[in-house]
Amino acid sequence: MTARLHDPLAQFNYLYKEPANLTTMGTKYTFKCNKCGYRATASGGMDSGMHAVTDTYICGSCREIVDVCTGEYGQEYTREEAQVRKSKSGTGLNFYVCPVCGSGKNLLKWSASDCPCPECGEKMEKDLDGGMIVMWD
């Protein structure tokens, strides 16, 4: 790739040719629990990068809030579909698996409106000091 950094727009156009992909930059927030001090960085809901589609889950195995890959190329799969697609996937993504501990057995969808802390159950808050992190893919 020869896109030049001093011309960010040209690089942008090179990377995102299709209008549908303009919204594919992943956005993450820092969430904190004021009761026990637990902090997590997560999207807080369905999100998609250039390849991976993620959704925010609580992993019951390691008790972390994690962004779990649930699809690819802007399409979210059911667990059944993911099983079939996994072997054919060109992206090498692991679907419905906790990125922290690797277990897929105890994933529970995290509610971005209730924001329950996986440690103590208290409602978590978006940590505005932690800022918004735009990254990945």
Measured from the CB atom, is 61 or 89 closer to Zn ion? 61
Contact 34, 122 (CB under 8 A): yes
Please state, as a whole number, how many other Cβ atoms lie within 10 Å of the Cβ of residue 113: 7
Rounded to the nearest 10 degrees, how much is the dihedral formed by the CA atoms of 81, 29, 39, 103? Answer: 10
Q: Which residues make beta-bridge pairs with 125?
A: 32
Site string for Zn ion, 10-49 (x = CB under 5 A): -----------------------x-xx-x-----------
Q: Which amino acid is at 48?
A: S
Contact 130, 30 (CB under 8 A): yes
Q: b/e per residue, 7-25, with b = 16+ CB within 10 A?
A: eeeeeeeeeeeeeeeeebe
Residue range at the interface with Zn ion (CB under 5 A); choices 8-16, 71-79, 116-124, 126-134: 116-124
The least CB distance from residue 75 to Zn ion, in Å, is 24
Footprint (CB under 5 A) of Zn ion, residues 53-112: 59, 61-62, 98, 100-101
**Among 46, 122, 126, 127, interactor with Zn ion by CB under 5 A:** 122
**Among 58, 82, 115, 117, interactor with Zn ion by CB under 5 A:** 117
Number of residues in contact with Zn ion, rule: CB under 5 A? 14
Give the residues lining the site for Zn ion (CB under 5 A).
33, 35-36, 38, 59, 61-62, 98, 100-101, 117, 119-120, 122
